[in-house]
A and B are shown apart, each in its own frame.
Chain A
Amino acid sequence: MASIAETHTGPHDGGHHESYLTAKRGIASWLTTVDHKRIGVMYLASILFFFFVGGVAALLVRTELLNPGKDLVEHAVYNQLFTLHGAIMVFLFIVPSIPASLGNIVLPLMLGAKDVAFPKMNLASYYFYVVGAILFILTIVLGGLDTGWTFYAPYSTTTSTSVISATFGAFVLGFSSIFTGINFLVTIHKMRAPGMTWDRMPLMVWALYATSLIQVLATPVIAITLLLLICERTFGIGIFDPALGGDPVLFQHFFWFYSHPVVYVMILPGFGVISELVTVHSRKGIFGYMAIAISSVAIAFIGFLVWGHHMFVAGESSLAATVFSFLTFAVAVPTAIKVFSWIATMYGGSIRYTTPMYYVFVFLFLFSIGGLTGLFLGALAVDVQMHDTYFVVAHFHYVMMGGTFIAFLGGLFHWWPKFTGKMYDERLGKLSAVLVFIGFNVTFFTQFVLGSRGMPRRYYTYQPQFHTLHEISTIGSYILTAGLLVALVTFIKSLKSGEKATANPWNGMTLEWHTESPPIEHNFAEQPICRRGPYDFPEIDESAAGARH
């Protein structure tokens, strides 16, 4: 048992400790739990449910776009569907996805802690999520929402759809996000195992640290913005609506001060997952540990300085636009450092072609395209042409879905044996990765072409020359769905009949692999002590060979 930790009792002789899944029984024991692993599992189930809902909305949108004019639904319903898809995917799926589900489970394990710093607040954050989700569902019942997920004023202050319940839902979800962020920051600062210095923390922890910084610093601004929007609708206070003397561009400043940093809340944890996966499955220490760690924090910081690039054509001043454009390019530097480091990590490694590694390949390919097309959009002159076209839609799907979601899936496969104690079918897992890769590119690469030819986003119908490309994109979305269904089948099959997982099926060195699969209720039978870096694999370190048994 080679590991970065040494304890007196290894995982094998801890048989008298119950796993977190079976230590307590009954629904009530789940709903009132303060165990970070159980809260993570509840988050996981909830976000997957909303991913399903948002995904169905996306499929309806794509199917509607199969032909110009009406296929399935009227244009008003179409407006609600794409809003629903965007709002649910952003607020209920992708923001909490990796941090609140995977992160919640692995963070204390990786740090060698018994729990997060504030377990009750962790549960409260989950219930805030639930309340926010209920408010979103209420929105659908109360007449839907057709503003797009961005709630731009003055349309959102004047439309007759249910803006208040949706914005209040997003407000509550914001506090869920803030609580998770505070909890993680304090946990990382105060609860690390003895010997775990900052340069021995797994890169996933660094990524979650940077993510939490943004959650705490940016989310309150969207909270107050949404309150002001509600006030504008209710009292007509005159801050955003030009008819009342307000400034609609100001709304976009308020909105993007949060929503631009929050795209890094979405992608940074994905970076963290990929850093873990690429090194464990390449059997090689990470290339540029400090560079990757610091670049996460650098991205979080620079992410606060670039929000104006969403408003180049919205009436922002030319001076501000120039400054924001310049700063936008700065984000590419730390991001490129990461991508190059991952590739350099694989170089000369002993790559195992497991499902998580397949997802790493998918991520590297898709994220690179997504990141590089971001530079097109950050350039002032190009953005004037591309703004609000399918080029933008394709760009952020490549980053959000091709980046974060793929990393989420890869991470889920990677840690699945740890969470459930069951292995999954590798062939099915790999099939899902291949299908997702093909389906994704067919769907979204087509949209780059559509956008560069002038197809505007959010339109219900289109000119005949876009017909073929829309058809290809829709077919791609079906392939993508098939790939995701295969992944779902893989997980269900594993739960029903997967073989029992060992404590450390991937021979990972980070602390979560040092406890049983699934972990015991208090994580570790005895306080682990960290003695080595997180990626010092025994294969590449002869001096550690003696420690194996």
Chain B
Amino acid sequence: MAAHSDPHYDGLGHHISPVRVYWLVFAALLVFTGLTYAVSFAKLGPASLPVAMLVACIKATLVCTFFMHLKYDERFNLLVFVSSLFFMAVFFGFTMLDVASRALVDPIEGYGVYEQYNPPAAPAEAAPAEAAPAADEAPAAGH
């Protein structure tokens, strides 16, 4: 309807990204997916979760910036979206503060949830517990 002289903007004056950008972002996403998949086979131990989350965050940022157009959108929409992450962090943070610290201040009264499931005597039993999964791979008969 509206004649648009500038190919970078549509009839409402919003930015139009070149097709090439979308495919480049897609390629980057594939690379990161491959990376996170490959890394999952490397035994990184406690570092594996932060690495996986870092990669996921980079991927999410790419999707938000280019596919969801946050780069060219009104700044306020970015604030709106980031605020949801903030309040999610509040929810996680305070709840974990409680769950993780129930036994901290008063170890007798506040016998922690974590300790209930993971008795303090763990060091002695740690080795069998580690080995158990491998041994149990064959379905236990009669269960």
Contacts and interface: CB of A to CB of B under 8 A. Distances in A.
A210 B98 CA distance: 28
A183 to B, nearest CB: 15
B99 A250 contact: yes
A253 B103 CA distance: 18
Contacts of B84: 217
Nearest to B76: A189
Contacts, number: 55
Contact of B98 (A217, A249, A304): A249
Contacts of A253: 94-95, 98
Contact of B99 (A189, A247, A304, A324): A247
Q: In terms of DSSP, what is the predominant structure of the interface of chain B?
A: helix
Interface string B65-99: 00000000000100000011001001100110111
B101 interface: yes
Interface string A226-248: 00000000000000000000010
B101 A320 contact: yes
B102 A315 contact: yes
Interface string A310-325: 0100011111100110
Contacts of A318: 101, 104-106, 110
B88 to A, nearest CB: 9
Interface residues of B, number: 21
A307 interface: yes
Nearest to A314: B98
B113 interface: yes
B100 to A, nearest CB: 8
Nearest to B104: A319
Contact of B101 (A249, A311, A317): A317
Counting chain A CB atoms within 10 Å of each CB, the highest count among B84, B90, B94, B104 belongs to: B94
Given A304-B90, A305-B90, A305-B94, A247 B105 contact: no
A308 interface: yes
A247 B76 CA distance: 38
B87 A304 contact: yes
A253 B110 CA distance: 17
A250 B105 CA distance: 19
Contacts of B103: 317
Contact of A307 (B83, B94, B113): B94
A311 B98 CA distance: 10
Contacts of A501: none
Contacts of A307: 94
A284 B95 CA distance: 46
Interface string A289-318: 000000000000000110110010001111
A78 interface: no
Nearest to B91: A257
B97 A319 contact: yes
Nearest to A189: B76
Nearest to A305: B90
A317 B115 CA distance: 14
A179 to B, nearest CB: 16
B61 to A, nearest CB: 22
A542 B87 CA distance: 47
A318 B100 CA distance: 11
Given A217-B84, A247-B113, A319 B91 contact: no
Contacts of A320: 94, 97-98, 101
A262 B99 CA distance: 23
A328 to B, nearest CB: 13
Contacts of A316: 98, 102
A316 B97 CA distance: 10
Interface in A310-369: 311, 315-320, 323-324
A247 B53 CA distance: 26
Contacts of B101: 317-320
A502 to B, nearest CB: 40
A237 B55 CA distance: 31
A221 interface: yes
B91 A308 contact: no
Contacts of A217: 83-84, 87
B99 A319 contact: no
Interface string B16-28: 0000000000000
A257 B96 CA distance: 13
Contact of B97 (A250, A257, A315, A323): A323
A323 B104 CA distance: 14
Nearest to A318: B105
Given A317-B102, A319-B105, A250 B110 contact: no
Contacts of A324: 94
A317 B91 contact: no
A308 B98 contact: yes
B94 A317 contact: no
A305 B103 CA distance: 22
Counting chain A CB atoms within 10 Å of each CB, the highest count among B91, B103, B104, B105 belongs to: B91
Contacts of B76: 189
A217 B101 CA distance: 26
A320 B113 CA distance: 14
B94 A308 contact: yes
Contacts of B97: 317, 319-320, 323
Contacts of A249: 98
A253 B93 CA distance: 11
A42 to B, nearest CB: 30
Nearest to B100: A317
A304 B105 CA distance: 24
A317 B90 contact: no
A378 to B, nearest CB: 16
A346 to B, nearest CB: 36
Given A253-B95, A304-B87, 14 more contacts: A217-B84, A217-B87, A250-B95, A250-B99, A257-B95, A305-B90, A311-B98, A315-B110, A316-B98, A318-B105, A318-B106, A319-B97, A319-B105, A323-B97
14 contacts: A217-B87, A249-B98, A253-B95, A304-B87, A305-B90, A315-B110, A317-B97, A317-B100, A317-B103, A319-B97, A319-B101, A319-B104, A320-B97, A320-B98
A-B residue pairs, 9 tightest by C-beta: A320-B98, A318-B105, A317-B102, A317-B101, A319-B101, A253-B95, A320-B97, A317-B98, A217-B87
Interface of B: 76, 83-84, 87, 90-91, 94-95, 97-106, 110, 112-113
